[in-house]
Amino acid sequence: MENNNKQQANAKEVKPQVDAELSENPPVERSKFLIVWLAIVILLGLIAGSFWFLQKQLHTQQQVTVALTQNASSIEPLENKLTQLEQTFNADTATTEQRLAGLNVANIALLDKVDELAKTQELTNDDVLRSWALAELKFLLQSANQSALLAGDVVKAHVALTLADQQLKSLNDPRLHELRSLIADEKLALASVAKVDIAGLALQLQSALDKVDDLKVLMGPQLSNQKDKDSAKSSSSSTWQSALSQAWQQIKSLVVIRHQKDAAVAVLVPEQRYFLYQNLRLKLESAQLGLLSAKETVFHDNLTSAGQWLQQYFIGTERDAMFDMLTAMQSETITVEVPDISASLIWLEHYGDQQ
């Protein structure tokens, strides 16, 4: 008991001392406590900010990874196409190089042959050019002869001779003076040939063919059979007589005959006009074929036949205009005598043999 009392007395004595000490330094302890809490708060804020920044970086990195994956998947087809294009380009390049190499080899071979020929014949550059000019001149004269003698085209033959004369003029060789004189005579002979407008005549015939369907056919009079039918019915009431009468009327209606002053052929019924048009068209086409093939007899014969056909089976102003056109074409001469223009070509060939 006594000990307890002593301890309580001592404690009471110590407590005032501690309170006295605390009362002496209270502001210093409080400021330290506030600084510690402020540091803790700042540290927590830094930790939270660092965590948010790391989360944001992770999210951005994930987006970049997804975008790179998509780009990689889209780039793969492009890389495949690029690889194919590179392979194709390489193959084409190799083929082109091979062809160029072949052409270079062929070119070198040709140059070697030309050099050999030049060395063998001892030709100068002027001699080579003259040989080319003479070869071109021979080609022009051959073209003129083919156009005149084979095709009968005087205009093309005259053009070819004109070009040959210009070639001779550029050569300015006195040794070819006789050849140029022959060409001048042949040009004059071709200029004197009568000009035939084959194309114009063919177009006129084609115009007539296009207007064939517009022509009016000469029709026979329409016969009325009503009175014959009435009289046949009243004259006999028997079945076989009525049938015989009807058959006779149908037979008579098939052909209608019309007599003309010029003793023309019988005119067909309307159902048979097709054959009239087709026959006229055939005659005009035959005349056109004879014109283009330079067969004057065929041309004139078919024109005459078509004119007669128009007079017998057609009427109207269109018929008259077509008939006048065909009559005017009868006086045209479609064949001409083309002169012989082979003298210049023969002279040139003989001159070439002497060289």
Nearest to 300 by CA among 271, 332, 273: 332
- Whether 47 shows a pLDDT value over 80: the answer reads yes
Nearest to 166 by CA among 183, 178, 145, 153: 183
Which range is most confident: 70-74, 166-170, 267-271? Answer: 166-170
Contact indicator for 338, 152 with CB cutoff of 8 Å: yes
Contact indicator for 270, 221 with CB cutoff of 8 Å: no
Q: Sorting pLDDT into bands at 50, 70 and 90, what band is 122?
A: low
- Whether 302 shows a pLDDT value over 50: the answer reads yes
For the whole model, what pTM was predicted?
A: 0.42
Predicted confidence (pLDDT) per residue in 194-234, tens digit? 677 788 888 999 999 999 888 888 765 544 444 444 444 44
The rounded percent of the chain whose pLDDT value lies above 70 is 71
Q: What is the pLDDT of residue 217?
A: 85
Predicted confidence (pLDDT) per residue in 89-112, tens digit? 888 888 888 888 888 888 888 888
Nearest to 306 by CA among 289, 287, 291, 321: 287
Predicted confidence (pLDDT) per residue in 127-142, tens digit? 778 888 888 999 999 9
Q: Higher confidence at residue 70 or residue 256?
A: 70
Q: What is the pLDDT of residue 261?
A: 45
Amino acid identity of residue 51, one-letter, is F
DSSP character string of 274-312: HHHHHHHHHHHHHHHHHHHTT-HHHHHHHHHHHHHHHHH
Average pLDDT, the chain: 76
Query: What are the CB-based long-range contacts (under 8 Å, 24+) for 280-284?
Result: 280/212, 280/215, 280/306, 280/309, 280/310, 280/313, 280/314, 281/209, 281/212, 283/309, 284/205, 284/208, 284/209, 284/212
Q: What is the pLDDT of residue 355?
A: 62
Euclidean distance between CA atoms 142 and 138, whole angstroms: 6
Q: What is the pLDDT of residue 240?
A: 58
Q: Enter the tokens of residue 216.
A: 């009016």
Q: What is the pLDDT of residue 286?
A: 93
Instruction: Lowest mean pLDDT of 57-61, 295-299, 341-345, 347-351, name the range.
Output: 57-61
Amino acid identity of residue 12, one-letter, is K
Nearest to 153 by CA among 144, 162, 161, 165: 144
Q: Average pLDDT in the 30-36 region?
A: 73
Q: How far is CA 250 from the centre of its chain?
A: 59
